[in-house]
Protein backbone atom coordinates (compact mmCIF):
# COMPACT_ATOMS: atom_id res chain seq x y z
CA UNK A 1 0.00 0.00 0.00
CA UNK A 2 2.80 2.39 0.96
CA UNK A 3 6.40 1.78 0.05
CA UNK A 4 9.17 4.16 0.97
CA UNK A 5 12.50 3.42 -0.69
CA UNK A 6 15.83 4.98 0.19
CA UNK A 7 14.30 8.31 1.15
CA UNK A 8 16.66 11.04 2.30
CA UNK A 9 15.51 14.47 3.43
CA UNK A 10 17.87 17.29 4.32
CA UNK A 11 16.67 20.60 5.75
CA UNK A 12 18.94 23.49 4.88
CA UNK A 13 18.63 26.47 7.17
CA UNK A 14 20.76 29.48 7.97
CA UNK A 15 21.91 27.68 11.09
CA UNK A 16 23.13 24.73 9.02
CA UNK A 17 21.82 21.51 7.54
CA UNK A 18 19.82 18.77 9.28
CA UNK A 19 19.63 15.31 7.75
CA UNK A 20 16.13 14.50 9.02
CA UNK A 21 15.83 11.21 7.06
CA UNK A 22 18.82 9.10 6.13
CA UNK A 23 18.15 6.51 3.44
CA UNK A 24 14.90 5.28 5.00
CA UNK A 25 13.05 2.31 3.48
CA UNK A 26 9.88 0.62 4.71
CA UNK A 27 6.75 -1.05 3.46
CA UNK A 28 3.25 -0.71 4.91
CA UNK A 29 0.64 -3.27 3.87
CA UNK A 30 -2.92 -2.46 2.85
CA UNK A 31 -5.34 -2.34 5.81
CA UNK A 32 -2.74 -2.47 8.55
CA UNK A 33 -2.19 -0.05 11.36
CA UNK A 34 1.48 0.83 11.31
CA UNK A 35 3.26 2.69 14.08
CA UNK A 36 6.32 4.92 13.87
CA UNK A 37 7.89 5.57 17.26
CA UNK A 38 10.89 7.64 18.26
CA UNK A 39 11.97 10.46 20.52
CA UNK A 40 11.61 14.11 19.57
CA UNK A 41 13.68 14.97 16.51
CA UNK A 42 14.01 11.35 15.31
CA UNK A 43 12.40 12.22 11.97
CA UNK A 44 8.92 10.68 12.46
CA UNK A 45 6.90 13.68 11.28
CA UNK A 46 9.21 14.27 8.33
CA UNK A 47 8.86 10.62 7.29
CA UNK A 48 5.07 10.69 7.45
CA UNK A 49 4.90 14.06 5.70
CA UNK A 50 6.91 12.51 2.85
CA UNK A 51 4.03 10.05 2.34
CA UNK A 52 1.59 12.80 1.36
CA UNK A 53 4.34 15.10 0.04
CA UNK A 54 3.76 17.83 2.61
CA UNK A 55 7.54 17.49 2.61
CA UNK A 56 9.40 16.65 -0.58
CA UNK A 57 12.25 14.21 -0.05
CA UNK A 58 15.62 15.09 -1.58
CA UNK A 59 15.92 11.70 -3.11
CA UNK A 60 14.24 8.28 -3.05
CA UNK A 61 10.92 6.78 -4.13
CA UNK A 62 7.45 6.67 -2.58
CA UNK A 63 4.78 4.31 -3.91
CA UNK A 64 1.17 4.87 -2.85
CA UNK A 65 -1.33 2.19 -3.81
CA UNK A 66 0.56 1.30 -6.99
CA UNK A 67 1.44 4.87 -7.98
CA UNK A 68 5.21 5.16 -7.94
CA UNK A 69 6.82 8.56 -7.49
CA UNK A 70 10.57 8.88 -7.79
CA UNK A 71 12.20 11.94 -6.31
CA UNK A 72 15.36 13.37 -7.69
CA UNK A 73 16.77 16.55 -6.26
CA UNK A 74 13.36 17.40 -4.73
CA UNK A 75 11.62 17.03 -8.11
CA UNK A 76 8.76 14.53 -8.34
CA UNK A 77 8.53 12.06 -11.23
CA UNK A 78 5.70 9.65 -11.96
CA UNK A 79 6.94 6.24 -13.06
CA UNK A 80 4.44 4.33 -15.19
CA UNK A 81 5.17 1.36 -17.45
CA UNK A 82 8.88 2.05 -17.11
CA UNK A 83 8.46 5.67 -18.26
CA UNK A 84 9.39 8.59 -16.05
CA UNK A 85 7.54 11.92 -16.41
CA UNK A 86 7.32 15.02 -14.19
CA UNK A 87 4.36 14.67 -11.81
CA UNK A 88 1.74 17.29 -12.58
CA UNK A 89 0.18 19.45 -9.85
CA UNK A 90 -3.20 17.82 -10.69
CA UNK A 91 -1.85 14.30 -10.17
CA UNK A 92 -0.16 15.38 -6.95
CA UNK A 93 -3.45 16.81 -5.64
CA UNK A 94 -5.29 13.61 -6.60
CA UNK A 95 -2.70 11.55 -4.76
CA UNK A 96 -2.95 13.81 -1.71
CA UNK A 97 -6.74 13.51 -1.64
CA UNK A 98 -6.37 9.75 -1.23
CA UNK A 99 -4.55 10.42 2.06
CA UNK A 100 -6.18 11.95 5.16
CA UNK A 101 -4.20 13.38 8.05
CA UNK A 102 -4.86 14.23 11.70
CA UNK A 103 -2.62 16.24 14.02
CA UNK A 104 -1.83 16.70 17.70
CA UNK A 105 -3.53 20.12 17.86
CA UNK A 106 -6.49 19.16 15.64
CA UNK A 107 -6.04 22.08 13.17
CA UNK A 108 -9.77 22.90 13.09
CA UNK A 109 -11.20 26.15 11.73
CA UNK A 110 -12.07 27.97 14.98
CA UNK A 111 -14.64 30.26 13.37
CA UNK A 112 -16.54 27.43 11.70
CA UNK A 113 -18.89 25.03 13.42
CA UNK A 114 -18.53 21.24 13.38
CA UNK A 115 -20.65 20.87 10.22
CA UNK A 116 -18.57 23.39 8.26
CA UNK A 117 -15.27 21.96 9.50
CA UNK A 118 -16.22 18.51 8.22
CA UNK A 119 -17.79 19.87 5.02
CA UNK A 120 -14.68 21.93 4.17
CA UNK A 121 -12.78 19.28 2.12
CA UNK A 122 -16.04 18.38 0.30
CA UNK A 123 -16.59 21.92 -0.98
CA UNK A 124 -14.46 21.70 -4.10
CA UNK A 125 -15.38 18.18 -5.14
CA UNK A 126 -18.38 19.12 -7.28
CA UNK A 127 -20.86 17.59 -4.81
CA UNK A 128 -24.33 19.12 -4.39
CA UNK A 129 -25.43 20.75 -1.09
CA UNK A 130 -27.61 17.72 -0.33
CA UNK A 131 -24.76 15.28 -1.01
CA UNK A 132 -22.46 17.29 1.27
CA UNK A 133 -25.12 17.42 3.98
CA UNK A 134 -25.67 13.65 3.82
CA UNK A 135 -21.96 12.88 3.81
CA UNK A 136 -21.30 15.14 6.82
CA UNK A 137 -24.05 13.38 8.81
CA UNK A 138 -22.69 9.99 7.75
CA UNK A 139 -19.26 11.05 9.06
CA UNK A 140 -20.72 12.47 12.27
CA UNK A 141 -22.38 9.14 12.91
CA UNK A 142 -19.13 7.31 12.18
CA UNK A 143 -17.28 9.32 14.84
CA UNK A 144 -20.24 9.46 17.26
CA UNK A 145 -20.70 13.23 17.28
CA UNK A 146 -24.16 13.90 15.75
CA UNK A 147 -25.28 15.94 18.76
CA UNK A 148 -22.46 18.47 18.28
CA UNK A 149 -23.14 19.35 14.65
CA UNK A 150 -23.73 23.05 15.40
CA UNK A 151 -21.06 23.44 18.09
CA UNK A 152 -17.90 25.51 17.59
CA UNK A 153 -14.45 24.03 18.34
CA UNK A 154 -14.11 26.14 21.53
CA UNK A 155 -17.22 24.38 22.88
CA UNK A 156 -15.72 20.91 22.45
CA UNK A 157 -13.40 18.78 24.56
CA UNK A 158 -10.03 17.70 23.14
CA UNK A 159 -11.37 14.23 22.34
CA UNK A 160 -14.41 15.70 20.57
CA UNK A 161 -12.19 18.06 18.56
CA UNK A 162 -10.09 15.10 17.44
CA UNK A 163 -13.29 13.27 16.40
CA UNK A 164 -14.21 16.26 14.20
CA UNK A 165 -10.68 16.22 12.74
CA UNK A 166 -10.98 12.49 12.03
CA UNK A 167 -14.36 12.98 10.33
CA UNK A 168 -12.86 15.78 8.20
CA UNK A 169 -9.83 13.66 7.31
CA UNK A 170 -12.13 10.84 6.16
CA UNK A 171 -14.53 13.06 4.20
CA UNK A 172 -13.21 12.09 0.77
CA UNK A 173 -12.88 8.38 1.56
CA UNK A 174 -9.09 8.27 1.72
CA UNK A 175 -7.37 4.90 1.57
CA UNK A 176 -4.73 6.07 4.00
CA UNK A 177 -5.03 7.98 7.28
CA UNK A 178 -1.87 9.56 8.73
CA UNK A 179 -2.00 10.32 12.44
CA UNK A 180 0.72 12.65 13.76
CA UNK A 181 0.70 12.42 17.58
CA UNK A 182 -3.12 12.58 17.48
CA UNK A 183 -3.52 11.62 21.13
CA UNK A 184 -0.54 13.45 22.61
CA UNK A 185 -2.61 16.42 23.78
CA UNK A 186 -5.42 14.28 25.24
CA UNK A 187 -6.06 12.94 28.74
CA UNK A 188 -5.90 9.14 29.25
CA UNK A 189 -9.68 8.60 28.83
CA UNK A 190 -9.90 10.66 25.63
CA UNK A 191 -6.74 8.94 24.37
CA UNK A 192 -8.32 5.55 24.88
CA UNK A 193 -11.54 6.54 23.16
CA UNK A 194 -9.71 8.03 20.14
CA UNK A 195 -7.50 4.93 19.85
CA UNK A 196 -10.62 2.74 19.99
CA UNK A 197 -12.21 4.88 17.30
CA UNK A 198 -9.14 4.51 15.05
CA UNK A 199 -9.19 0.76 15.65
CA UNK A 200 -12.90 0.62 14.69
CA UNK A 201 -12.40 2.75 11.56
CA UNK A 202 -9.52 0.54 10.46
CA UNK A 203 -11.79 -2.50 10.76
CA UNK A 204 -14.97 -0.95 9.37
CA UNK A 205 -13.47 1.00 6.45
CA UNK A 206 -10.30 -1.02 5.83
CA UNK A 207 -8.38 2.28 5.84
CA UNK A 208 -4.59 1.87 6.23
CA UNK A 209 -3.46 3.88 9.26
CA UNK A 210 0.02 5.22 9.94
CA UNK A 211 0.43 6.36 13.54
CA UNK A 212 3.30 8.54 14.74
CA UNK A 213 3.84 8.55 18.46
CA UNK A 214 6.47 8.73 21.19
CA UNK A 215 4.33 6.52 23.46
CA UNK A 216 4.73 2.76 23.34
CA UNK A 217 1.25 2.43 24.92
CA UNK A 218 -0.27 3.76 21.68
CA UNK A 219 1.70 1.24 19.63
CA UNK A 220 0.67 -1.58 21.95
CA UNK A 221 -2.96 -0.58 21.81
CA UNK A 222 -3.62 -0.30 18.06
CA UNK A 223 -0.66 -1.13 15.83
CA UNK A 224 0.05 -4.34 13.93
CA UNK A 225 3.65 -3.44 13.12
CA UNK A 226 6.04 -0.74 14.24
CA UNK A 227 9.17 1.02 13.05
CA UNK A 228 11.50 2.49 15.67
CA UNK A 229 13.29 5.64 14.52
CA UNK A 230 16.45 7.19 15.87
CA UNK A 231 18.42 10.09 14.35
CA UNK A 232 16.71 9.92 10.97
CA UNK A 233 16.96 6.15 10.58
CA UNK A 234 14.68 3.17 11.12
CA UNK A 235 16.73 1.14 13.60
CA UNK A 236 14.26 -1.68 14.23
CA UNK A 237 11.03 -2.82 12.60
CA UNK A 238 8.60 -5.69 13.02
CA UNK A 239 5.34 -7.04 14.42
CA UNK A 240 4.40 -5.31 17.67
CA UNK A 241 4.28 -8.60 19.60
CA UNK A 242 7.77 -9.58 18.42
CA UNK A 243 9.20 -6.17 19.24
CA UNK A 244 7.71 -6.36 22.75
CA UNK A 245 8.84 -9.91 23.37
CA UNK A 246 12.35 -9.47 21.99
CA UNK A 247 13.47 -5.87 21.49
CA UNK A 248 16.97 -5.80 19.99
CA UNK A 249 18.14 -2.19 19.95
CA UNK A 250 18.80 -0.29 23.21
CA UNK A 251 16.30 2.42 22.19
CA UNK A 252 13.62 -0.20 21.51
CA UNK A 253 14.24 -1.77 24.93
CA UNK A 254 13.81 1.67 26.47
CA UNK A 255 10.46 2.13 24.73
CA UNK A 256 9.29 -1.37 25.68
CA UNK A 257 10.35 -0.85 29.30
CA UNK A 258 8.47 2.44 29.40
CA UNK A 259 5.12 0.60 29.47
CA UNK A 260 6.24 -1.98 32.01
CA UNK A 261 6.48 -1.78 35.80
CA UNK A 262 9.72 -3.77 35.46
CA UNK A 263 11.58 -0.58 34.52
CA UNK A 264 11.33 0.33 38.23
CA UNK A 265 14.13 -2.12 38.89
CA UNK A 266 16.72 0.37 37.61
CA UNK A 267 15.46 2.90 40.15
CA UNK A 268 15.61 0.31 42.94
CA UNK A 269 19.18 -0.64 41.98
CA UNK A 270 20.20 3.02 41.86
CA UNK A 271 18.69 3.62 45.29
CA UNK A 272 20.45 0.50 46.58
CA UNK A 273 17.09 -0.73 47.86
CA UNK A 274 17.21 -3.79 50.16
CA UNK A 275 14.62 -5.32 47.81
CA UNK A 276 17.22 -5.84 45.13
CA UNK A 277 20.18 -6.80 47.33
CA UNK A 278 21.12 -10.47 47.48
CA UNK A 279 21.50 -12.18 50.84
CA UNK A 280 23.60 -15.29 51.48
CA UNK A 281 22.17 -18.25 49.55
CA UNK A 282 20.43 -15.95 47.03
CA UNK A 283 21.34 -15.38 43.41
CA UNK A 284 21.72 -11.99 41.81
CA UNK A 285 18.69 -10.46 40.04
CA UNK A 286 17.39 -11.98 36.83
CA UNK A 287 14.76 -10.83 34.39
CA UNK A 288 12.64 -13.71 33.07
CA UNK A 289 10.52 -13.17 29.97
CA UNK A 290 7.75 -15.58 29.05
CA UNK A 291 6.35 -15.16 25.56
CA UNK A 292 3.73 -17.16 23.63
CA UNK A 293 6.14 -20.08 23.15
CA UNK A 294 6.06 -20.79 26.90
CA UNK A 295 2.86 -22.62 27.80
CA UNK A 296 3.68 -24.70 30.85
CA UNK A 297 3.83 -23.49 34.48
CA UNK A 298 7.64 -23.39 34.46
CA UNK A 299 8.26 -21.54 37.69
CA UNK A 300 6.62 -24.12 39.96
CA UNK A 301 8.07 -26.90 37.82
CA UNK A 302 11.64 -25.57 38.14
CA UNK A 303 11.17 -24.82 41.82
CA UNK A 304 10.20 -28.45 42.51
CA UNK A 305 12.70 -30.01 40.15
CA UNK A 306 15.80 -28.14 41.38
CA UNK A 307 14.74 -27.34 44.93
CA UNK A 308 15.13 -23.59 44.46
CA UNK A 309 12.81 -20.79 45.57
CA UNK A 310 11.83 -17.77 43.48
CA UNK A 311 11.59 -14.42 45.18
CA UNK A 312 9.57 -12.26 42.76
CA UNK A 313 10.56 -8.60 43.08
CA UNK A 314 8.51 -7.19 40.18
CA UNK A 315 6.16 -8.75 37.65
CA UNK A 316 4.28 -7.51 34.60
CA UNK A 317 1.98 -9.00 31.96
CA UNK A 318 1.49 -7.18 28.65
CA UNK A 319 -1.59 -8.00 26.59
CA UNK A 320 -0.95 -7.36 22.90
CA UNK A 321 -3.94 -8.22 20.74
CA UNK A 322 -5.04 -11.61 22.05
CA UNK A 323 -1.57 -12.66 23.17
CA UNK A 324 0.35 -11.98 26.34
CA UNK A 325 3.97 -11.52 27.35
CA UNK A 326 4.88 -12.03 31.00
CA UNK A 327 8.05 -10.78 32.59
CA UNK A 328 9.40 -10.77 36.12
CA UNK A 329 12.44 -9.72 38.08
CA UNK A 330 13.43 -12.52 40.47
CA UNK A 331 16.10 -13.67 42.89
CA UNK A 332 16.59 -17.41 43.24
CA UNK A 333 17.58 -19.00 46.51
CA UNK A 334 19.08 -22.43 47.01
CA UNK A 335 22.42 -24.11 46.47
CA UNK A 336 24.67 -22.44 43.86
CA UNK A 337 24.72 -25.50 41.63
CA UNK A 338 20.93 -25.88 41.81
CA UNK A 339 20.44 -22.20 40.88
CA UNK A 340 22.74 -22.59 37.84
CA UNK A 341 20.90 -25.74 36.76
CA UNK A 342 17.51 -24.04 37.22
CA UNK A 343 18.56 -21.08 35.05
CA UNK A 344 19.91 -23.37 32.33
CA UNK A 345 16.65 -25.34 32.41
CA UNK A 346 14.56 -22.15 32.15
CA UNK A 347 16.54 -21.04 29.08
CA UNK A 348 16.02 -24.45 27.52
CA UNK A 349 12.24 -24.13 28.02
CA UNK A 350 12.33 -20.88 25.96
CA UNK A 351 12.08 -18.53 28.94
CA UNK A 352 14.40 -15.60 28.19
CA UNK A 353 16.80 -15.27 31.10
CA UNK A 354 18.78 -12.04 31.44
CA UNK A 355 20.98 -10.97 34.32
CA UNK A 356 19.85 -7.51 35.52
Ligand X SMILES: Nc1ncnc2c1ncn2[C@@H]1O[C@H](COP(=O)(O)OP(=O)(O)OP(=O)(O)O)[C@@H](O)[C@H]1O
* Shortest separation between residue 15's beta carbon and ligand X, angstroms: 9
User: How many other β-carbons are positioned within 10 Å of the β-carbon of residue 304?
Assistant: 9
Q: Could you say whether residue 13 binds ligand X (CB under 6 A)?
A: yes
Q: Is there binding between residue 11 and ligand X (CB under 6 A)?
A: yes
Let me know: does 201 contact 177? Beta carbons within 8 Å: yes
What is the pattern of x (binds ligand X, CB under 6 A) and - over residues 195-224? -------------------x----------
C-beta of 16 vs 297, nearer to ligand X: 16
CA distance 198 to 35: 13
Binds ligand X (CB under 6 A): choice among 1, 3, 8, 18:
18
Min dist CB 208 to ligand X, Å, is: 20
The reply on whether position 41 binds ligand X by CB under 6 A is yes
Could you tell me the smallest distance in angstroms from the CB atom of residue 178 to ligand X?
Answer: 12
| Residue 105 per-residue DSSP state | T
Distance CA 76, CA 54 (A): 12
Residue 88 has what DSSP assignment?
P
Which C-beta is closer to ligand X: that of 46 or that of 283? 46
Of the residues 7, 44, 139, 167, which one makes contact with ligand X according to CB under 6 A? 44
Considering only CA atoms, which of 32, 54, 43 is closest in space to residue 10? 43
* 3 in Cβ contact with 213 (< 8 Å): no
Q: Does the footprint of ligand X cover residue 341 (CB under 6 A)?
A: no
Per DSSP bridges, beta strands 176-180 and 99-103 are parallel
Asked if residue 212 lies in contact with residue 45, where contact means CB atoms within 8 angstroms, the answer is: yes
Can you tell me which of 46, 160, 179, 259 binds ligand X, judged by CB under 6 A? 46
To ligand X, the closest distance from the beta carbon of 229 in angstroms equals 7
Residue choice 2, 34, 35, 43 for contact with ligand X (CB under 6 A): 43
**Which of 24/285 has CB closer to ligand X?**
24
Cα(285)–Cα(313) distance, integer angstroms: 9
Using DSSP's 3-state secondary structure scheme, residue 293 falls into: coil
Where does this chain touch ligand X (CB under 6 A) — which range of 11-19, 89-97, 120-128, 275-283? 11-19
> Residue 130 and residue 99: Cα distance in Å, rounded?
24
Residues of this chain that bind ligand X (CB under 6 A) = 11, 13, 18, 20, 38, 40-46, 214
Amino acid sequence: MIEIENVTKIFRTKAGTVEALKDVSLKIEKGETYGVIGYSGAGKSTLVRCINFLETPDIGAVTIDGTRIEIDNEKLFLVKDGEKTRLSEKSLNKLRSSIGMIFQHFNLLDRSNVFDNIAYPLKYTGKSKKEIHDRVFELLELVGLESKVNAYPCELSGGQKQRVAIARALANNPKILLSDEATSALDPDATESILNLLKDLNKKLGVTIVVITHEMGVIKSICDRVAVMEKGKVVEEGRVYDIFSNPKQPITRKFVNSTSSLSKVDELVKKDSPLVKSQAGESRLYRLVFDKSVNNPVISEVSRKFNVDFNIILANVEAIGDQTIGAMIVKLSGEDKAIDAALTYLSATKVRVEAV
